[in-house]
Structure 1
Amino acid sequence: MSIKENVDYVKTELSSEERFLESFVKSERFFKKYKTLIFAFVIIIIVGIISFFIKENIAQSNKLKANIAFNQVLQNSNDTEALAILKDKNPQLYDIALYLQAKKEDKAIQISVPFLKELSKYQTALSGKNISELDNLSMQNDFLLKEFAIFNKALFLTNEGKFNEAKTTLALIPQTSKAFELAKLLNHYLLTK
């Protein structure tokens, strides 16, 4: 190698070391300037991660306790201690337990779980043969048992001798419905009336 090449090599090496030292000094200045913010950010992240895991652990513990209490209520519906745990740990599961308890005793109960609330109204309307309540339920677009409510309304109308109203009501049941076969059978019966 020639001297000129050696000098060029040394210059490039020095300039790359200079750049490295310069970037090191810049990063050190940045760290000194924002040291408290950097430490605060790191601490916030650590505390956030720890609190997330603690929250998840508590949620899992509550879920397990609620499930155990629900199983106890299923075995013994008069277990007030298990009902209290359910009410505290999982209010929706508590409502389901109350619903099941009321169903066993043939009572009507106020609950907040939407589908069970509708189902409770439906069963109350069926047991009371309440045509107007079945009509109200069948008018709700999102009611789970809408077509069955319409069918039962038509069945009650048939029992009361209101055959034309029953036929009109059965026409509301779409062919894609699970209740359509029942409606078809009732329509065959109504042809003779």
Structure 2
Amino acid sequence: MSIKDDVNYIKNELNSEEKFLESFVKTERFFKKYKKLIFGLLIVAIVGSVSFFVKSKIDESNLYDANIALNSFLEKGDKNSLEELKEKNRDLYEVALYLDAKNEFKSANINLKYLKELLDFQVAILNSNQTELDLVSKKADFLLKDYAIFNQALMLVDSQKYEEARELLSKISEDSRAFELATLLKHHLVTK
């Protein structure tokens, strides 16, 4: 019985070695067949990883430099910093233009939607320009729409157009934060 067991053991060992060699040969054939594709994918993965890392470091450096340039422009009014900001980060450049225009009460060429609308609103109020304020307040998604309507009503009250002011104030919804101001102005207009 022991010889029979030994023979079975040797057969099993040969079968497992045979299976191992068979899988090794299959793997070798697969590798030879797709060697170029495997190396290509490996190179693409390495190059992609390195370029992603380098790009993120460059973006981080540009953001840091842009913040320094913005601070320099705001503190010293340095025009060179403004030019550097324009190259490094366009959005921060437009924020700087907005802040500069706001401080000097002038208009600026800004493409950021909300900053442009806010600047137009502020310039219209400072110039007491009813037409520009009307244009700004008619934009459906303007952040300060109700406040713009309230300011229009104030301008109308100053020019003694009380009925038009009342009509404008009625456009301010009750859930608006400007509603309380509108109510106070309506109470003032009761005597006019």
TM-score interval for Structure 1 and Structure 2 normalised by the shorter chain: over 0.9
2:15 is the alignment partner of 1:18: no
Match of 2:107 in 1: 108
C-alpha distance in structure 2 between counterparts of 1:65 and 1:148, whole Å: 37
Match of 1:60 in 2: 60
The offset of 1:13, in angstroms, is 3.1
| Cα pair 2:105 2:126 within 8 Å, conserved | no
The offset of 1:111, in angstroms, is 1.2
Match of 1:172 in 2: 171
The offset of 1:2, in angstroms, is 5.1
- Between the aligned residues of both structures, percent identity stands at 54
C-alpha distance in structure 2 between counterparts of 1:2 and 1:184, whole Å: 107
Match of 2:30 in 1: 30
The offset of 1:80, in angstroms, is 2.0
Q: Supply the AA of the counterpart residue of 1:70.
A: L
The gaps in structure 1 that reach 5 residues or longer are none
Name the TM-score, length of structure 2 as normaliser: 0.93
2:70 is the alignment partner of 1:70: yes
Q: Supply the AA of the counterpart residue of 2:40.
A: A
C-alpha distance in structure 2 between counterparts of 1:11 and 1:138, whole Å: 91
Match of 2:124 in 1: 125
Q: How does 1:177-192 map to 2 (within 5 A)?
A: 177-192=176-191
2:28 is the alignment partner of 1:50: no
C-alpha distance in structure 2 between counterparts of 1:12 and 1:168, whole Å: 98
The offset of 1:4, in angstroms, is 4.5
The offset of 1:124, in angstroms, is 1.4
Aligned CA RMSD, in angstroms, stands at: 1.6
Match of 2:140 in 1: 141
Matched length: 192
The offset of 1:91, in angstroms, is 1.6
> Which string of whole-angstrom CA distances, capped at 9 and with x for unpartnered residues, describes residues 42-86 of structure 1?
111101100111101111111111111111001111x12211111
The offset of 1:14, in angstroms, is 2.5
| Cα pair 2:66 2:84 within 8 Å, conserved | yes
The gaps in structure 2 that reach 5 residues or longer are none
C-alpha distance in structure 2 between counterparts of 1:48 and 1:109, whole Å: 40
Worse overlay, 5-14 or 81-90: 5-14
Match of 1:88 in 2: 87
The offset of 1:6, in angstroms, is 4.3
> Which string of whole-angstrom CA distances, capped at 9 and with x for unpartnered residues, describes residues 121-176 of structure 1?
10111112122222221111110111100111111112222222211111111111
| DSSP 3-state at the match of 2:27 | helix
Name the TM-score, length of structure 1 as normaliser: 0.92
